[in-house]
Amino acid sequence: MKKILVTGGCGYIGSHTIVDLIVNGFSVISIDDNSRSSAYLLDGIEKITGKKVKNYKVDLKDFNDTRAVFQENQDIAGIIHFAAYKAVGESVEEPLMYFENNLYSLINLLKCVKEFNVPHFVFSSSCTVYGSPDKIPVTEESPIKKAESPYGATKQMGEEILTSTVKVTDTKAILLRYFNPVGAHPSGFIGELPLGKPANLVPAITQTAIGKLPQMTVFGSDYDTRDGSNIRDYIHVCDIAHAHTLALNYLIENRNKTNYDIFNLGTGNGVTVLEAIKAFEEVSGQKLNYKVGPRRPGDVVAIYANNNLAVTALGWKIKYDLTEMMRTAWAWELKIKEEEDILKNQKFLYN
Ligand code: WQD
């Protein structure tokens, strides 16, 4: 059974990918310092798969602590690197924190990949590398334009660091450019746990609907799109997760064309913010309390993927549509509320 190291394994996409890897026959270990994630999702992984995943609570910015994990696990067949800060707005406020965290972590990891000859490396990249595209849908050949935020810049630099490294090592890499991951595992045992006020659309919708947020703001409805709001390519997190398993098998079976093949992970459908809200209202059966506010600086007007390469080369089949994305996101929000209520009651009982 090949052992895979998932960094950021306690996070949203990381936890869903660990489930998919285990279900598809891999054994998994995780490195996650839990600075922005919770070991709570490891319990969820165990409930779904029956497997207890070991998480090394290590800060990847600390080279010696990172190297110690490789020293202890010299049979790592592949790495999937998720661990990074990813809030666009925060990256504008704290650029140095983003460059230090996202790039030091990657460099330390790649030093270990080199020293311990790890054969396969899958990098979590993002459609933000395309900036504001002139032509949509975007393909993997679409021009890389100036990043709209330091977060996007760390993804562009991360791709550069990785591709330069694998050109001079025997490691083979894949760069997966996610569009907008949303939704939750159908079991309801894992999902997104945004820290503080959510920046992303779908958790903002579900937290408003459940009453955690008083009202949601649509950031602009005067764009040059069919209904004036931004267009994005929302993709279910489980479809994203399965693409990582397919990408690893693609490398293990030597089907790669270069040492750093790139794939867009999106559905190929553009959805506006207002259409996403409508889909949620149909699923939840409740009207969402939102207002239209000013545009958000750094927002791209419209972007969605041409995903033909991932579909043909990886054999990727998308299983979840927008309704399922909203249904699973809402089910997860309801589940967290239920748990919080139980926890509150328990606290109440024992105080
Ligand atoms: C989507 C749309 C907002 C919140 C970012 C990263 C990307 C990926 C996903 C990591 C935009 C609008 C949002 C709200 C709103 N992250 N919106 N009200 O900015 O497309 O992408 O997150 O992989 O790399 O760049 O996602 O969900 O923040 O915004 O109107 O309260 O929803 O203006 O049009 P984004 P998002």
Q: Which domain does 39 fall in, by range?
A: 3-345
Tell the residue nearest (CA) to atom 2 of ligand 1: 201
Tell the residue nearest (CA) to atom 10 of ligand 1: 86
For residue 13, give the nearest of 181, 226, 253 by alpha carbon: 181
Verify whether ligand 1 is closer than 6 Å to residue 67 (CB atom): no
Verify whether ligand 1 is closer than 6 Å to residue 199 (CB atom): yes
Verify whether ligand 1 is closer than 6 Å to residue 126 (CB atom): yes
Q: Is the pLDDT of residue 297 over 90?
A: no
Verify whether ligand 1 is closer than 6 Å to residue 185 (CB atom): no
The answer to whether position 350 is within a domain reads no
The answer to whether position 161 is within a domain reads yes
Tell the residue nearest (CA) to atom 21 of ligand 1: 180
The answer to whether position 113 is within a domain reads yes
User: Which position has the higher pLDDT, 92 or 289?
Assistant: 289
Q: What is the pLDDT of residue 148?
A: 82
Distance CA 4, CA 278 (A): 39
Peptide bond into 150 cis (omega under 30): no
The answer to whether position 205 is within a domain reads yes
Which structure tokens are listed for 215?
């009202």
Q: Give me ligand 1 centre to Cα 275, in Å.
A: 14
For 127, counting Cβ atoms within 10 Å of its Cβ (0-12 exposed, 13-18 middle, 19+ buried), the class is buried
Q: What is the DSSP letter of 285?
A: S
Which residue among 138, 201, 271 is best mutated to probe the pocket of ligand 1, counting the most ligand atoms within 8 A of its Cβ?
A: 201
Q: Give me ligand 1 centre to Cα 141, in Å.
A: 23
For residue 260, give the nearest of 140, 143, 172 by alpha carbon: 172
Residue reference for tokens 């600390």: 62
Q: What is the pLDDT of residue 347?
A: 63
Verify whether ligand 1 is closer than 6 Å to residue 219 (CB atom): yes
The number of folded domains in the chain is 1
List the CATH number of the domain containing 203: 3.40.50.720
The answer to whether position 314 is within a domain reads yes
Which structure tokens are listed for 64?
């010696």
Q: Give me ligand 1 centre to Cα 86, in Å.
A: 11
Verify whether ligand 1 is closer than 6 Å to residue 273 (CB atom): yes
In sequence order, which residues have a C-beta less than 8 Å from that of residue 285 and are 6 or more positions away?
none
For residue 74, give the nearest of 103, 117, 18, 128 by alpha carbon: 117
Q: Band of the pLDDT at 169, cuts 50, 70, 90?
A: very high
Task: Provide the annotated active-site residues.
Answer: 151
The answer to whether position 23 is within a domain reads yes
Q: Which atom of ligand 1 is nearest to the CA of 273?
A: 32
Q: Is the pLDDT of residue 146 over 80?
A: yes
Distance CA 240, CA 220 (A): 28
The answer to whether position 223 is within a domain reads yes
Instruction: Provide, for the chain, the percentages of residues in helix, strand and coil under a 3-state DSSP scheme, each rounded to the nearest 5.
Output: 45, 15, 40
Which structure tokens are listed for 305?
């993927």
Q: What is the pLDDT of residue 196?
A: 84
Q: Give me ligand 1 centre to Cα 273, in Å.
A: 9
Rounded to two decimals, what is the model's pTM?
0.96
User: Which position has the higher pLDDT, 341 or 272?
Assistant: 272
Number of residues written out for the chain: 351
Distance CA 324, CA 318 (A): 12
Distance CA 160, CA 242 (A): 25
The answer to whether position 351 is within a domain reads no
Distance CA 196, CA 63 (A): 29
Q: Is the pLDDT of residue 71 over 60?
A: yes
212 three-state secondary structure: coil
Give the mean pLDDT of 54-72: 98
Give the mean pLDDT of 213-234: 98
User: Which position has the higher pLDDT, 196 or 174?
Assistant: 174
Q: What is the pLDDT of residue 348?
A: 59
Q: Give me ligand 1 centre to Cα 78, in Å.
A: 30
